[in-house]
Amino acid sequence: MDNIIENESELFTLTLEQQRAFNRLRKAYKECEKLGVCFYNLYGSLGATDSNKIDGYGDDNFVKDEELRIPNRDQNSHNEFNIASEWCDDQNCHYFRIKEK
């Protein structure tokens, strides 16, 4: 089978326009952090909240005091959009399927 890429590093090479768009995204992300935006991932949705309003973000074990916690649910935020994958914290157990020539 002939693949459209010759080696693994080619998979992560972007076109010039793609690289420029990604660089803009990276710059916007850094600007958001400077302005106090806290990002979170909810099963493939990237969300944002004001970091000045929270002490942190974690699972059930993170916040024990019921009065100080709000669960993260899909309906909580209008500041969310889907990202490519919900598996962003898993390594070496998900694969890219390479297109054939």
pTM of the model: 0.67
Instruction: Quote helix, strand, coil % in the chain, to nearest 5.
Output: 30, 15, 50
Q: What residue type is assigned to position 8 of the chain?
A: E
pLDDT at 11 over 90: no
**How is the chain split into domains, by residue range?**
8-82
Give the residue with greater pLDDT, 76 vs 100. Answer: 100
8-state DSSP, 24:
H
Give 28-86 pLDDT, tens digit per residue. 999 999 999 988 877 777 888 898 988 777 666 666 666 666 666 655 567 777 776 65
Q: Do residues 81 and 46 make contact, with C-beta atoms less than 8 angstroms apart? A: yes
pLDDT value at residue 91? 60
pLDDT at 92 over 70: no
pLDDT value at residue 60? 61
